[in-house]
Chain A
Amino acid sequence: MKQSRLGLTIAIIVLLVIAGLAVFPFYWMFVTATTPTSNFYDENAQLFPNLANLGNFFGAFTDTPMLTWLGNSAIVATGTMVLAVAFGVPTAYALSRFSFRGKAIVGLSLFLTQMLPEAVLVVPLFSIFAALGLINSLFGLILVNAAFVMPVVTLVLMGAIDGVPTEIDEAARVDGATRVGVLTRMVIPIIAPSLAAVAVIAFFHGWNEYIFALTFTTQDSLHTASVGLAGFIGELTTPTQQVMSVAIVYTLPAVALYLLLQRFIVSGIAAGSVKG
């Protein structure tokens, strides 16, 4: 199909502007993080990063408990990922491969959980967790985060397994493989890219989560990075440069992994969404 050169040029210019707007705040984080305190409140803002001030980065980690908080976030995120995927894989397989009574209800319930705001469940979950001794526990955060992201994981994986020909299952079954064997040895290797995508989604659900981490942890040493970082908003004692340095370190892994796996994440969500 031939397209007009002018049309294409205009399209690319518009897209460049949009991409610029998409990226600018992150660039601005970096500029702020490297602005020396002396010209921080200058009449004219410094518009480019000042690489001589990269030292700010390290100051942020020695002056705040941020390393501990990032470590907590990593633990919560990893646990969330493991649990959500472990529960999601068999459910997705069953929804994709079996026909059974109640299947539609299971699928619909998974979709309906998307409507549940964390803020609505935070109070009752707090009482339940208090009774179970799971307040001030990273494991408690893992449990609740996995519950919130598991439906998404399941729906995306279901779309992926739908794309695997059932002949593969049947051939393996005839060769004597059990259902579990078919799932672990035949299906999972084929859907590995989607598995990686949902693992990233689940991991960063735990990494980003704020409201439960805020209400379920009272000790400073158990805060996750999201809570620690949010605590800097409106607070005036920590230099803005340090806050931005920490924000960059907190943001970077998420952006990097999403970019790395974007093809699978997007196609996974798109496939899941076409299915509904």
Chain B
Amino acid sequence: MTSSTTRQRAPRRRDPRRIHGLRSMPYLFIAPAALYLFIFQGIPLIQEFRLAFSNAKLFRPNDFDFIGFDNFVAISQDDGFWQAVSVTVVYVVCCVVGTVLIGLGVALLMNRKFKGRSVLRSLIIIPWAAPPVAIALIAVWMLDARYGIVNRALAVGGLAPEGGNWLNSTTLALPAVLIVTIWQLFPFTSVVTLAALQSVPEELNEAAMLDGANARQRFSAVTWPTIRPTVALVAILMTIWSLRRFELIWLMTQGGPVGTTNTLVIDLYRESFIIRDLGQGAAIGIVGLLVSLTITVIYFILSNRAARSEVTR
């Protein structure tokens, strides 16, 4: 409504802006969302920064003093924090590599015509569509040490792990959480990669074939250059989504046993709500955010450079 009334104030005739609208028009379209995001993301983010430099506790969240970098010093001297950093690195790297490689593989397998392809694609997409809480629930049940189907099936083959208590084992918990995570996310990487594959021009492939290129050469000369930006984007999305993933890990292990699945996000939640130290929790969160931001910036620089070298070539 606002936009139509403002428009009438503009000179009516022969004004090129009549087609393109008022100068302020785009801002009017964007303002509601910008304001909304500022209130519900911007302000809390600023608050989080302030908390990170404070001694706020959960039971008195609004009554605190600023203590400079003490929280950051405290976490840097805490072995648990460094364990969380290394768990996060392992978790994120495995998630990204696993989902992107499996996604690429599945997409390549599916990128041909056969009967029932759309049915298969539908089945494969299901884990991604399901709510994480439901997935944590079924995963915990399937991995149950005594009655879980996983151990029962492994027992048939004589492969049941020693003790068999997946989520309570310091060696098996992280792999188990990783398998569940990758299982939930590979559909996303698969279908997005498949969509990119389908935009590879068929003629190019045929031309390469006539030139006698084998499948491997065709992939590196034709397919890969087309899908690379998409694969890169999927990889960065997997990275930042994995850095922020909470419920799947929390509900399966709460970061345990002995911190072996304790990623930074789990660590900050525990620090804030179980240890009730909001200041240190916020400091951990800020470190996590800086890691995300660094990776994203590197990604943008690399993809810009790649795009530019593409043009000059």
Query: What residues of chain A have their CB less than 8 Å away from a CB belonging to chain B?
Result: 1, 3, 8, 11-12, 14-16, 18-19, 21-23, 25-26, 28-29, 32, 40-41, 45, 87-88, 90-91, 93-95, 98, 100, 103, 106, 109, 111-128, 143-144, 146-148, 150-151, 154, 170, 173-174, 178-180, 204, 207-208, 210-211, 215, 226, 229-230, 232-234, 240, 243-244, 247, 250-251, 254-255, 257-259, 262, 266-267, 269-270, 273-274, 276
Q: CB distance B29 to A94 under 8 Å? A: yes
Give the tally of cross-chain contacts (CB within 8 A).
279
Q: CB distance A230 to B37 under 8 Å? A: no
Q: Is B89 an interface residue (CB 8 A)?
A: no
Q: Can you list 10 A-B pairs, Cβ within 8 angstroms, ordered by A?
A: A45-B152, A91-B29, A91-B30, A233-B136, A254-B130, A258-B126, A258-B129, A262-B125, A270-B192, A273-B237
Segment at the A interface, from B67-75, B77-85, B138-146, B169-177: B138-146
Select from chain B the residue with minimum beta-carbon distance to A226: B133
By a CB distance below 8 angstroms, the chain A residues around B21 are: 98, 179
State which of B29, B285, B293 has its C-beta within 8 Å of the C-beta of A120.
B285
Select from chain B the residue with minimum beta-carbon distance to A125: B44
With known contacts A90-B29, A276-B229, A26–B37 Cβ distance under 8 A: no
Interface size on B, residues (CB 8 A): 103
With known contacts A25-B139, A115-B244, A170-B19, A215–B131 Cβ distance under 8 A: no
Segment at the A interface, from B93-101, B106-114, B157-165: B106-114
Q: CB distance B112 to A8 under 8 Å? A: yes
By a CB distance below 8 angstroms, the chain A residues around B178 are: none
By a CB distance below 8 angstroms, the chain A residues around B293 are: 112, 115
Query: What residues of chain B have their CB less than 8 Å away from a CB belonging to chain A?
Result: 1, 3-4, 7, 18-21, 23, 25-27, 29-30, 32-34, 36-37, 39-41, 43-45, 47-48, 51, 61-62, 106, 109-110, 112, 114, 116, 120-142, 147, 149, 152, 183, 187, 191-192, 194-196, 199, 202, 205-206, 209, 229-230, 233-234, 237, 240-241, 243-244, 246-247, 251, 265-266, 268-269, 272-273, 278, 281-282, 285-286, 288-289, 292-293, 296, 303
State which of A98, A251, A269 has its C-beta within 8 Å of the C-beta of B26.
A98
Q: CB distance A118 to B26 under 8 Å? A: no
Q: CB distance A273 to B192 under 8 Å? A: yes
State which of B4, B19, B272 has its C-beta within 8 Å of the C-beta of A173.
B19
By a CB distance below 8 angstroms, the chain A residues around B32 are: 87, 90-91
* Distance (whole angstroms) from the CB of A236 to the closest CB of chain B: 12
By a CB distance below 8 angstroms, the chain B residues around A114 are: 237, 240-241
Q: CB distance A178 to B140 under 8 Å? A: no
Select from chain B the residue with minimum beta-carbon distance to A16: B120
By a CB distance below 8 angstroms, the chain A residues around B265 are: 117, 119-120
Select from chain B the residue with minimum beta-carbon distance to A95: B30
